[in-house]
């Protein structure tokens, strides 16, 4: 099988947004148009009439939010599409940041009513750091929202990226009539339809054609002509190279819940989005077309199927061909591992695969061998860069409330923190365990999963910790500092020493008084 041909077929991207912008709904509708599912249920804020395909954890179904990255694959237009649907909720931002290391491009979903929101800015910062190509989908056009030109100005000023609309709405809310496709002169007329695919597309060779007046009315037709003239005069023509460099974001308008504007987005995406790209490792840049296999683990999920207590490591393939039942070198442990049942995914549905190629994301059954950031190769010593760990914002001590279930609690805490949505710090003597998260909701999720997946019971008591800082520098100075402040020193899961600073002032003084030690608020696993 031709490796280069397989690489050129693949498109691997993440869908990101602020909570409730419609990201998971859009993901489901992409699957609908890709033929992976035949009908779709409407996803509503904090209520799911029919659970979204990509939200399969019980707590996600109850709360109506995505709290874990879902991986889905399907074929469309001769391409193999790999979607990574990320958590929109800010409490699970770290999982999203890590997931962005495994994609080649991004679709950013914007609510036309609310525009750019806090989490949108944070996610775009990560995309800009990596020069990740971004397509913007302005969603919920069936509601009265901000003026489209105002939205474009807001996107450019708030997200520091140039935009170029490739479709344009005809009104909004109850007066919404459809979108005009600027790149191929087609008119897509709107009809509210939450379960089927819209096919009502009219080709208009010339925007001045009387056919446009007949389809949308003379007043709206004239407004559209004026808008298109302004767009062509103000915005530069779409430049695919600028898009691929992460400098220009094409913009589409639509209503994901009504399946409207989704096909146009998908058709353009497979045409312009990049195939699998080179990956930077500590040792060198790894090209996807290299014959030897390599890949890295960017996520671990325990109990994907609660009935079987399985642990799945999500592996992004970077080069070569992965083959079932072949032995590969696990770089960190320097052991050879064989995988008899590697999977690809359609959300919670798993299929055993024989081969996988660069750009693919596969699931590997894990008995505890993997950690986030681990590399698999055919033998070469490679360590892929850019999988970060951030200092948590909130810290709580784990208190066991059922001593009879101590083993279950230990196992649950170990496995759930392996997933990367929370961090575990151990402090000796006393074997005190602290969980660090970004915001409060993660503790609720961990407690729920400990109870329902492991049968363990605990409570989380707040502790006065401001930041967790990894220490590097003079080893003797670090040892001396650790002996001087034993109650403020802990170890992360890798055994690295971490300084638990009680306040910003205390951290500032530690930095001033210990110039031979660097205190890092970010670590790469």
Model pLDDT for residues 71-83, shown as the tens digit of each residue:
888 889 999 999 8
How confident is residue 510, by pLDDT bands cut at 50, 70 and 90? very high
Question: φ, ψ for residue 260 (rounded to 5)?
Answer: -105, 125
Q: What is the DSSP letter of 323?
A: E
Only one residue has tokens 């970004």, namely 438
Q: What is the DSSP letter of 403?
A: G
CATH topology of domain 3-93+103-272: Rossmann fold (3.40.50)
Which numeric CATH code is attached to 388-524?
Answer: 3.30.70.3280
Most confident of 13-17, 386-390, 438-442: 13-17
How confident is residue 453, by pLDDT bands cut at 50, 70 and 90? confident
> By mean pLDDT, which of 120-124, 249-253, 372-376 is the weakest?
120-124
Q: Give pTM, 2 decimals.
A: 0.78
Q: What is the DSSP letter of 405?
A: G
The model's pLDDT over 363-405, given as tens digits with 9 standing for 90+, comes to 898 877 888 889 999 999 999 886 666 788 899 999 999 999 9
Number of Cβ atoms within 10 Å of the Cβ of 407? 10
Q: What is the pLDDT of residue 236?
A: 86
> By mean pLDDT, which of 139-143, 202-206, 290-294 is the weakest?
202-206
- Helix (H), strand (E) at residue 313: strand 311-319
β-partners of residue 70 are 85
> By mean pLDDT, which of 15-19, 84-88, 151-155 is the weakest?
84-88
Q: What is the pLDDT of residue 67?
A: 36
β-partners of residue 55 are none
How confident is residue 347, by pLDDT bands cut at 50, 70 and 90? very low
CA dist., res. 225 & res. 229, Å (int): 6
Of 332, 44, 396, the residue nearest 55 (C-alpha): 44
CATH topology of domain 279-377: Rossmann fold (3.40.50)
Of 343, 255, 330, 341, the residue nearest 71 (C-alpha): 343
Of 225, 248, 228, the residue nearest 238 (C-alpha): 248
Is the pLDDT at 61 greater than 60, yes or no?
no
If phi > 0 it is left, if psi is from -120 to 50 it is alpha, else beta; for residue 130 that is alpha
Of 511, 103, 30, the residue nearest 277 (C-alpha): 103
How confident is residue 346, by pLDDT bands cut at 50, 70 and 90? low
Q: Do domains 3-93+103-272 and 388-524 have the same CATH topology?
A: no
Only one residue has tokens 């055919």, namely 378
Domain map (residue ranges) of the chain: 3-93+103-272, 279-377, 388-524
């Amino acid at each position: 099988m031709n490796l280069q041909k397989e690489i050129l077929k693949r498109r691997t991207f993440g869908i990101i947004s602020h909570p409730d912008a419609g990201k998971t709904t859009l993901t489901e509708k992409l699957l609908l148009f890709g033929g992976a599912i035949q009908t779709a249920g409407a996803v509503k804020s904090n209520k799911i009439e029919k659970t979204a395909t990509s939200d399969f954890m019980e707590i996600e179904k109850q709360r109506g939010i995505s709290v874990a990255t879902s991986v889905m694959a399907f074929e469309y237009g001769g391409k193999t599409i790999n979607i990574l649907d990320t958590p929109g909720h800010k409490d699970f931002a770290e999982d999203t940041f890590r997931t962005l290391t495994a994609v080649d491009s991004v679709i950013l979903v914007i609510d036309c009513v609310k525009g750019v929101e806090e989490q949108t800015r944070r996610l775009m910062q990560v995309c800009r750091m990596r020069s990740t190509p971004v397509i913007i989908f302005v969603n919920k056009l069936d509601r009265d929202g901000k003026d489209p030109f105002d939205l474009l100005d807001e996107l450019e000023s708030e997200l520091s990226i140039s935009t170029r609309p490739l479709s344009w709405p005809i009104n909004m809310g109850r007066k919404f009539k459809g979108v005009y496709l600027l790149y191929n002169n087609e008119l897509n007329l709107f009809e509210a339809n939450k379960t089927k695919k819209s096919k009502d597309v009219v080709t208009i060779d010339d925007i001045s054609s009387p056919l446009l007046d007949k389809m949308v009315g003379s007043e709206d037709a004239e407004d559209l002509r004026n808008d298109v003239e302004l767009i062509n005069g103000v915005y530069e023509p779409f430049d695919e190279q600028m898009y691929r460099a992460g400098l220009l974001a094409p913009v589409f308008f639509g209503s994901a819940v009504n399946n409207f504007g989704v096909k146009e987005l998908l058709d353009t995406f497979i045409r312009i989005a990049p195939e699998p790209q080179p990956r930077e490792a500590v040792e060198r840049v790894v090209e996807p077309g290299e014959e030897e296999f390599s890949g890295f683990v960017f996520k671990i999920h325990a109990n994907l199927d609660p009935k079987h207590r399985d642990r799945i490591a999500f592996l992004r393939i970077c080069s070569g061909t992965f083959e079932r039942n072949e032995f590969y070198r696990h770089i960190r442990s320097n052991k050879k591992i064989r995988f008899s049942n590697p999977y690809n995914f359609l959300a919670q549905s798993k299929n055993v695969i024989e081969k996988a190629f660069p750009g693919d994301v596969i699931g590997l059954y894990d008995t505890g061998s993997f950690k986030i950031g681990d590399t698999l190769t055919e033998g070469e010593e490679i360590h892929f860069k850019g999988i970060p760990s951030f200092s948590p914002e909130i810290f709580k001590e784990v208190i066991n409330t059922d001593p009879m279930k101590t083993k279950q609690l230990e196992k649950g805490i170990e496995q759930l923190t392996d997933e990367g949505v929370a961090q575990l710090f151990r402090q000796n003597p006393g074997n005190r365990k602290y969980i660090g998260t970004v915001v409060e909701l993660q503790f609720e999720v961990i407690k729920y999963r400990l109870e329902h997946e492991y049968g363990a019971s605990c409570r989380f008591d707040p502790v006065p910790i401001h930041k967790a800082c990894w220490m590097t520098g003079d080893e003797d100075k670090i040892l001396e500092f650790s002996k001087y402040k034993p109650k403020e020193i802990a170890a992360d899961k890798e055994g690295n020493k971490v300084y638990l600073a009680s306040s910003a002032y205390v951290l500032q003084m530690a930095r001033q008084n210990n110039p031979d030690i660097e205190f890092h608020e970010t670590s790469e696993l």
